[in-house]
Amino acid sequence: MSIAPKKIVIASRESRLALWQAQHVQALLQALYPQCAVSILGMTTRGDQILDRTLSKVGGKGLFVKELEIALLEGHADLAVHSLKDVPMQLEHEFTLAAILEREDPRDALVSNQYASLDVLPAGSVVGTSSLRREAQIRARWPRLKIQALRGNLDTRLAKLDRGEYQAIVLAAAGLKRLGLVERIRQILPPTEMLPAAGQGALGIETLVTRSDVLDWLAPLHHAVSASAVLAERAVSRALGGSCSVPLAAYATVVGDTVSLRACVGMPDGSRLVQAGATAPVAQAEQLGAEVAAQLRAQGAQEILTQCKG
């Protein structure tokens, strides 16, 4: 066990939600190490700067982590806090996920000032989302609705809804709950209707592989049950080359020693959606992801992904 830290610097994006997440980890570390000075280094990433195009067109979710990783490499920060759904499925070799925290609600939420559910939205209603995963599932299940791209941080997205640019928007329930905006949620979308993104609702803490001291400091924050579910989800996504240019959903639950995983891949226009699922012992969570990915491939997922990337 390493010596208790005297100083820890956390790298974070500067959006309100990202800073909440960093402050949450800051409070947990401060409780663990009362004598330690825990500070936050706020940074603006490329993903925060480019708001006029969808992520899939400008380089993917890695745009939200690159600057934070540079801060780790240059020694300006000891660790970085991420929403795990924004973390690329394959980290560069210098980095590792040191801890996965206990997961918040992994589901999607409908926010609307007029309508209580996707089922009651009139034909032609504009629904905002920047996620190809959500777009594919909404178009497949509610083909009468119109999808329009929606970028920006959570407050920006809500402001666009309030200005009447959309009849409804779909967001991660976790972010709304973390920022005390539960009253904005009109409908929690069950995974049977809208399968979440891999890692949605979970926070991951990244550090350098070489920082064994940081790995030791963070060990008490690691939540094994949440990690098993998230690792299964990330494994299916990684096996299929998951990125934000891929309309892929993966959702796992853990009961006792068993992890159950469901995943789907679909065309963004909703014309085709393939689904698969399986269970395995918790110790085989990542192998389960590969198995479900193989099931999806057998149903034609690779063809869908090739078309999406083409």
- Positions marked catalytic: 86
Say if residue 25 is exposed, middle or buried (CB neighbours under 10 Å; 0-12, 13-18, 19+). buried
- The residues, any chain, with a CB within 8 Å of residue 213's CB and separated by 6 or more, are 2, 3, 5
Sheet holding 95-100, edge to edge: 37-43, 7-13, 79-83, 203-208, 95-100
- For every residue of 257-306, DSSP letters joined together read TEEEEEEEEE-TTSS-EEEEEEEEEGGGHHHHHHHHHHHHHHTTHHHHHH
Closest to 242 in 3D by CA, of 225, 263, 273: 263
Beta bridge partners of 281: 258
